[in-house]
Amino acid sequence: MKLVAGNSNRVLAEAIATYLEIPLAKCLVRRFADQEIFVEIQENVRGEDVFVIQSTSFPANDHLMELLIIIDALRRSSARRITAVLPYFGYARQDRKAGPRTPISAKLVANLITHAGADRVLTLDLHAGQIQGFFDIPTDNLFSVPVITRDIKEHYELQNVMVVSPDVGGVVRARALAKRIDAPLAIVDKRRERPGESEVMNIIGNVEGRDCILFDDIVDSGGTLCNAAEALVAKGAKSVVAYITHGVLSGGAVARIAGSMLKELVITDSIQPTEAVQSAANIRVTSISTLIGEAINRTASEKSVSSLFS
């Protein structure tokens, strides 16, 4: 087995390599003067089971091209099997036609990864589970719930906790967490007027006096979380924290969260945290390297991956 890492999240790749007790394969990824990407695999991978670790986070297009070119280089180097490990799958929010004459970019990206030469895909908390069907190759969608459950149990008393879904679409995800920690569930009913903006309309469930845990897959601008936290406090919540798998945190999101009602925002390192995120007082990062490392190990040894979550 070989591990190859692009430039999107080198720290996570090294943590996964440490867990698996194998070094990252030597791989040169550099740019020409016009920003064309050049890749050279600097060790023999013929007949190897290769895992390429690369989140397609900001800058999404650069990191996606790195992934595609690395896969192509491995295919032309006679790797036996290539698995694209995407801790964060960019373009996942474009999983349907949102209006007339608009693309389904998640399907396009799935096609690009497949045609570049990937044999399998391993990813984490897809924005919509049906995106697995966009790939014409085996796809394992991991869930961050075990990691988040452990973190909640280490940091919070569970007797007064209530899990809250920040929108109706995330109810299934939030219910899975609530079931694991044996907590009640509430839902924030919101209406999105335009992309990047949200307006909280109503809270479904009694949150008065509760320590509320908002749980979702992606935080981008932070508007939804901040509005939800404000609405929960207005309804009598004792405290509000948020657990989010993918911390995109674009634009002024970090400053927005720092000035919000959120006691704490916990994100995973599926996207490499920026300096602003690392220095924020109420943002904490927990690692999913062990989860992904174990999934890679089981894939390489042809063992069950789904049993990680049973």
Residue 199 has pLDDT above 80, yes or no: no
CATH assignment at residue 47: 3.40.50.2020
Choose, from 2, 190, 235, 303, the residue flagged as catalytic. 190
Residues 151 and 197 in one domain: yes
Residue 254 has pLDDT above 80, yes or no: yes
Give the per-residue pLDDT at 194: 64
Residues 10 and 128 in one domain: yes
Residues 118 and 56 in one domain: yes
Residues 205 and 133 in one domain: no
Contacts of 297 (CB under 8 A, 6+ apart): 20, 303
- Domain range for 165: 145-287
Residues 112 and 72 in one domain: yes
Give every strand in the sheet of 120-124, ordered side by side.
Answer: 2-5, 49-53, 81-86, 120-124, 139-142
Asked if 235 is an active-site residue, the reply is no
Residues 196 and 151 in one domain: yes
Residues at the binding site for ATP are 34-36, 93-94
The pTM (predicted TM-score) of the whole model is 0.92
How far apart CA 191 and CA 188 sit, in angstroms, is 10
How far apart CA 121 and CA 68 sit, in angstroms, is 13
For the stretch 38-90, pLDDT in tens is: 999 999 999 999 999 999 999 999 999 999 999 999 999 999 999 999 999 99
- Work out the angle at residue 56's Cα, subtended by the Cα atoms of residues 51 and 60, and round it to the nearest 5 degrees: 150
